[in-house]
Amino acid sequence: MSICVAVNDSKAAVFVNGKICKDPKLATTNDFYFSGLNVSGNVVPGLGFASTGVDVNNMPGLNTLGMFLGRTDLEPQRLAQFHTHPRATELITVLEGTLYTGFLVPDAANFFKSRLFSKIMNPGDVFVFPKGLIHFQFNMGKKKTYLSLLFQQSKSWICHYS
């Protein structure tokens, strides 16, 4: 089966690898379309950022494709705290603003040491965080920074570190 559009109604479905999929004959273009990443999300009070995600819940055609797309709005002088995605590589693109970002690679010889890979990013710049590595984003500018996010997994599982 070349497509497996998610569906809640099992009467209009077939099963692929134990997942419910819409009968491909009933799939529409809208199953593979999402509109709204151009709109700022609601900033979380105290944290200074908002995230909007595109997953199988709002784009059913993503089912079984192993992808998650998102947008993050980061307030000026705010840090998206250190976190990791244990099951996914993350790719970010700065759409607007200036961002300082990086990730840590543990030193195999010394548990208390890590190597920092970091970059100051501007609009159009792309950076990748390898799967499972602790990383961060800091808006070093005086205006909001907007990022596009791409994960190679269906849902973005996050572990935060304070």
Taking the domains of the chain in order of start, what are their residue ranges?
1-33, 36-160
3-state secondary structure of 32: helix
Residues of the chain with pLDDT under 50: 17, 162
Q: Is 96 annotated as a binding residue?
A: no
Q: Is 83 annotated as a binding residue?
A: yes
Q: Is 160 annotated as a binding residue?
A: no
How many helices and strands, by DSSP H and E, does the chain display?
Answer: 0, 12
Q: Is 85 annotated as a binding residue?
A: yes
Domain 36-160: CATH superfamily is Jelly Rolls (2.60.120.10)
If one counts every other C-beta atom within 10 angstroms of the C-beta of residue 142, the result is 9
- The CA-to-CA distance between both ends of the chain, in Å, stands at 44
Amino acid residing at 154: S
pLDDT of residue 158: 56
Q: Is the Cβ–Cβ distance between 78 and 48 less than 8 Å?
A: yes
